[in-house]
C-alpha cells in the first residue's frame, strides 16, 4: 500500500485548493540565507535558504514539504522508490507543519501563531525542536467535562508507520495493556495484561490476561523516582531487540511470576476467538475484534462466513480494546453486520458522488470551514460491501459476507475509540439497534490523514465524523443506559445507547462465556434484561493513553495511530 504518497497528495491537494481563496497563500517567501549542516547533502546544493516566520502570513505547505534538516538518502524499502527528501533546515520542517496545520487542522483558528524559533521550542537536538513545535500546533480548548478537546495530536517514525499500516507489525512483546488505576494518589497503581497477540513473545512465555504488573526489571510499579520510571517505560514499551524482565501477580498463585521477554516486531492479530455459542434456542456469533487494520480484512471475512454458515440469530462483537484504525474497514464491518437490505450498499456508484447514489451513508466527513467551502462535493463513506485489494489499494468485485442483523451487541470500554465508535454511530444512523455492553467509550469522533515529512508521519485532527442523521457529537463517548430511556426518535441522535453497564472481568479469558461482559450480553439475549451488578463494577477499565502518574511524573503508553485513531485512507476504484 502506498499510503504515504496517497495521504500526502490528498492533503496537499485539499490545502492548495483552499489557499487561493483564503489569503496568506502567496509564494513570495521571506527567507534568510544559511549554510546547511555537513550531513545535509540531499538532492540540492549545500547552501539552502531558510524561511522566516511572519505572524499571520502562511505560504502553502507544498512550498516546504520534503525539505529536511537531515534528508534521507537512497531507496525507500517500503515503496522501492527514492526518498523524496531535499536538503533543508529544521525551520523548513516547522514551516511545513505550521502551514499544513493552518490549511487542514479542524480547529486551525484556535492555534496560536507563535514564532517557530521561540525559546519554548529550543533544544540542542534539531529533531527535538521540530517535535516541540508540532506539539504546540493544536487547540488548548476543553470539552464540557474539562478534558482537552484535542487529545490526539502526535507523530511517529515513517518506518513504524509503514510496518504497522502495511503488515500490522508493532515492536514489543505482543501485549495489550489495561491501565486500571494510574494515579498512585488514588491507591496502588494497577496495570494488567488485557490480552496477548497470537505468536508473540508474551504468548509464548505464558503471560495471561489478568496478570498484574508488580515489577519491571526489578523496579516496583509504584515508584515515583524519575530514573526508575524511565526503567519502567523501557521495559513496558520496549524497543525491538531489547530484553527485559516483567514480574507479575497472577490470580490464585501465591508467589510472583517473572518472565524474561525479548521485544521484536510482532504481527497484530486483529480478529481472535471467533465462535458460535448456543444460548437457549439461539445461535450467537461472537468475535473479538481488536483493530481496524488491513491485515484484519481476511480473518474478519472468515469469521462472518462462519456466522453466515451457522445461520446465527444474534451477534456479539467484542471491541472493548479496539481503539480504531481505518474508517473504510469500519464501513465494511457495518455492511457485514447489517447486510444489503438495510444499507443499499450495492447502489454505491463509486467515487463520483455527482451521480445519484442510493447507498446509505455510513459516515460523513466534516472538515474545517475553509476545506468545506472549497469543495463542491460532499465527503462521506457509504456502507461498503466490496473487499479491498490492499496491496494495490483498490476495490475488488468480491462481495463481503453479511449476517443481516437488525440488532448487534457491542462490548465496549473506555478503550473503544475512533473507528469503533464510528461503527456504533454509523449503524445507529440507519436505525440498526446497537446494544452497548460494558462501559462508556472514549469519545473520539475525530480523525486524520497520515502525513509523512522528512522521516516522520504526523497526525493532526482534520475531520469530524457524523452518521447518516448528521450526528457526531460524542466527544464524551457513547454510554450504555437502560433501554427504557431510549425512544425511536432519538436513535442515532444522541450519545446514549441502550445497554448494560458491566465491568471488565479479568478473572476470565476473552471469549469465555462466563466472562462478565460476554455473560451480560448472553443474559440479555436470553432474557431481554441486564444482569444485576454492583454499581462500582461499571467503572471503565482501560484507557489507552492513560498515564501512570505521580505529581507530574508519569509513565505513558505510546499512541499507535492504526490502533487508536480514525484514519482516512482513500481506496481507488478499479
Distances (CA, A) of 174 to 177, 199, 305, 450: 10, 8, 27, 24
- What's the rounded Cα separation, in Å, for the pair 479 and 489? 18
Mean pLDDT, rounded, of the chain: 86
pLDDT at position 374 is 84
Chain position carrying cell 481472535: 272
Among 17-21, 64-68, 175-179, 212-216, whose mean pLDDT is lowest? 17-21
**Residue 461, Cβ density class (10 Å: 0-12 exposed, 13-18 middle, ≥19 buried):** buried
How much is the CA Rg of the chain, to the nearest whole Å? 24
Q: What is the mean pLDDT of residues 436-446?
A: 95
Q: Is the dihedral of CA 378, 381, 385, 390 positive or negative?
A: positive
pLDDT at 433 over 60: yes
- What's the rounded Cα separation, in Å, for the pair 168 and 149? 29
Per DSSP bridges, beta strands 257-262 and 243-249 are antiparallel
Whole-structure pTM value: 0.85
Q: What is the pLDDT of residues 314-339, one digit of tens each?
A: 999 999 999 999 999 999 999 999 99
pLDDT at position 389 is 96
Q: What is the mean pLDDT of residues 84-97?
A: 97
- What's the rounded Cα separation, in Å, for the pair 366 and 464? 5
Q: Is the dihedral of CA 201, 207, 208, 213 positive or negative?
A: negative
Residues constituting the chain: 574
Nearest to 222 by CA among 248, 191, 184: 184
Collect all residues with Cβ–Cβ distance below 8 Å to 269 and sequence separation of at least 6.
197, 198, 199, 290, 299
Q: What is the pLDDT of residues 55-72, one digit of tens each?
A: 999 999 999 999 999 999
Neighbours of 311 (CB within 10 A): 10
Q: What is the pLDDT of residues 398-415, one digit of tens each?
A: 999 999 999 999 999 999
CA 468-474-478 angle, 5° bins: 100
- What's the rounded Cα separation, in Å, for the pair 196 and 35? 50
DSSP letter for 360, please: P
Instruction: Confirm if 192 and 212 have CB atoms less than 8 A apart.
Output: yes
- What's the rounded Cα separation, in Å, for the pair 421 and 362? 12
Nearest to 336 by CA among 306, 357, 366, 376: 306
pLDDT at 18 over 50: no
Q: What is the pLDDT of residues 478-518, one digit of tens each?
A: 999 998 887 767 789 999 999 999 999 999 999 999 999 99
Adjacent-strand bridge partners of 453: 456
pLDDT at position 381 is 92
- What's the rounded Cα separation, in Å, for the pair 491 and 498? 9
Collect all residues with Cβ–Cβ distance below 8 Å to 158 and sequence separation of at least 6.
4, 452, 455, 456, 457
Q: What is the mean pLDDT of residues 256-273?
A: 95
pLDDT at position 425 is 98
Q: What is the mean pLDDT of residues 344-356?
A: 68
Quote the distance between the C-alpha of residue 284 and its chain's center: 28
Q: What is the mean pLDDT of residues 222-248?
A: 92
Q: Is the dihedral of CA 264, 565, 459, 141 positive or negative?
A: negative
SS (H, E, C) 315-333: EEEECCCCCCEEHHHHHHH
Adjacent-strand bridge partners of 572: 394
Q: What is the pLDDT of residues 128-171, one digit of tens each?
A: 899 999 999 999 998 888 888 898 888 989 998 888 777 667 88
Domains of the chain and CATH, by start = 3-104+108-149 (no CATH), 169-267 (2.30.42.10), 271-539 (3.90.226.10)
Amino acid at each position: 500500500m502506498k499510503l504515504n504518497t496517497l495521504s500526502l497528495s490528498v492533503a496537499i491537494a485539499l490545502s492548495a485548493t483552499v489557499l487561493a481563496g483564503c489569503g496568506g497563500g502567496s509564494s513570495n517567501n521571506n527567507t534568510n540565507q544559511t549554510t546547511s549542516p555537513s550531513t545535509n547533502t540531499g538532492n540540492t546544493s549545500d547552501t539552502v535558504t531558510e524561511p522566516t516566520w511572519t505572524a499571520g502570513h502562511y505560504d502553502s505547505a507544498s512550498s516546504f514539504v520534503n525539505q529536511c534538516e537531515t534528508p534521507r538518502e537512497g531507496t525507500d524499502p517500503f515503496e522501492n522508490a527514492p526518498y523524496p527528501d531535499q536538503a533543508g533546515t529544521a525551520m523548513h520542517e516547522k514551516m511545513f507543519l505550521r502551514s499544513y496545520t493552518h490549511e487542514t487542522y479542524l480547529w486551525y483558528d484556535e492555534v496560536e501563531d507563535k514564532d517557530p524559533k521561540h525559546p519554548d521550542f529550543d533544544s540542542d537536538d534539531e529533531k527535538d525542536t521540530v517535535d516541540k513545535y508540532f506539539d504546540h500546533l493544536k487547540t488548548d480548548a476543553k470539552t464540557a467535562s474539562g478534558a482537552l478537546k484535542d487529545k490526539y495530536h502526535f507523530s511517529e517514525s515513517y518506518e513504524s508507520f509503514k510496518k504497522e499500516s502495511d503488515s500490522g507489525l508493532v515492536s514489543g512483546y505482543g501485549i495489550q495493556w489495561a491501565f486500571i488505576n494510574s494515579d498512585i494518589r488514588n491507591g496502588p497503581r494497577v496495570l494488567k495484561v488485557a490480552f496477548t497477540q497470537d505468536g508473540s513473545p508474551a504468548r509464548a512465555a505464558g503471560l495471561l490476561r489478568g496478570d498484574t504488573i508488580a515489577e519491571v526489571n526489578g523496579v516496583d510499579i509504584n515508584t515515583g523516582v524519575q530514573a526508575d520510571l524511565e526503567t519502567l517505560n523501557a521495559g513496558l514499551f520496549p524497543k525491538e531487540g531489547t530484553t527485559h524482565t516483567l514480574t507479575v501477580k497472577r490470580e490464585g498463585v501465591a508467589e510472583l511470576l517473572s518472565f524474561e521477554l525479548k521485544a521484536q516486531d510482532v504481527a497484530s492479530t486483529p480478529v481472535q476467538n471467533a465462535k458460535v455459542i448456543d444460548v437457549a434456542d439461539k445461535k450467537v456469533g461472537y468475535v473479538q475484534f481488536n483493530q481496524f487494520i488491513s491485515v484484519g480484512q481476511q480473518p474478519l471475512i472468515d469469521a462472518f462466513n462462519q456466522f453466515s454458515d451457522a445461520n446465527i440469530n444474534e451477534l456479539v462483537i467484542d471491541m472493548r480494546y479496539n481503539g480504531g484504525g481505518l474508517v473504510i474497514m469500519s464501513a465494511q464491518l457495518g455492511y457485514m453486520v447489517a447486510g444489503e437490505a438495510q444499507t443499499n450498499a450495492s447502489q454505491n456508484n463509486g467515487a463520483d458522488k455527482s451521480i445519484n447514489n442510493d447507498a446509505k451513508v455510513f459516515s460523513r466527513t466534516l472538515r474545517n470551514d475553509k476545506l468545506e467551502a472549497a469543495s463542491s462535493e460532499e465527503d462521506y463513506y457509504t456502507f461498503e460491501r466490496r473487499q479491498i485489494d490492499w496491496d494495490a489499494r483498490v476495490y475488488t468485485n468480491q462481495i463481503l459476507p453479511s449476517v443481516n442483523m437488525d440488532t448487534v451487541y457491542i462490548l465496549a470500554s473506555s478503550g473503544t475509540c475512533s473507528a469503533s465508535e464510528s461503527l456504533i454511530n454509523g449503524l445507529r444512523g440507519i436505525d440498526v439497534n446497537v446494544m452497548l455492553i460494558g462501559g462508556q467509550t472514549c469519545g473520539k469522533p475525530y480523525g486524520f490523514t497520515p502525513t509523512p515529512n522528512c522521516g516522520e508521519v504526523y497526525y493532526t485532527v482534520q475531520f469530524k465524523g457524523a452518521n447518516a442523521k448528521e450526528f457526531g457529537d460524542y466527544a464524551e463517548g457513547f454510554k450504555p443506559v437502560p433501554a427504557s430511556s431510549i425512544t425511536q426518535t432519538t436513535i442515532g441522535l444522541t450519545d446514549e445507547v441502550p445497554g448494560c453497564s458491566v465491568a471488565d472481568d479479568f478473572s476470565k479469558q476473552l471469549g469465555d462465556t462466563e466472562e462478565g461482559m460476554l455473560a451480560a450480553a448472553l443474559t440479555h439475549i436470553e432474557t431481554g434484561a441486564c444482569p444485576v451488578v454492583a454499581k462500582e463494577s461499571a467503572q471503565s477499565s482501560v484507557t489507552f493513553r492513560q498515564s501512570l502518574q505521580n505529581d507530574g511524573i508519569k509513565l505513558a503508553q505510546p499512541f499507535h495511530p492504526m490502533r487508536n485513531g480514525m484514519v482516512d485512507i482513500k481506496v481507488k476504484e478499479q
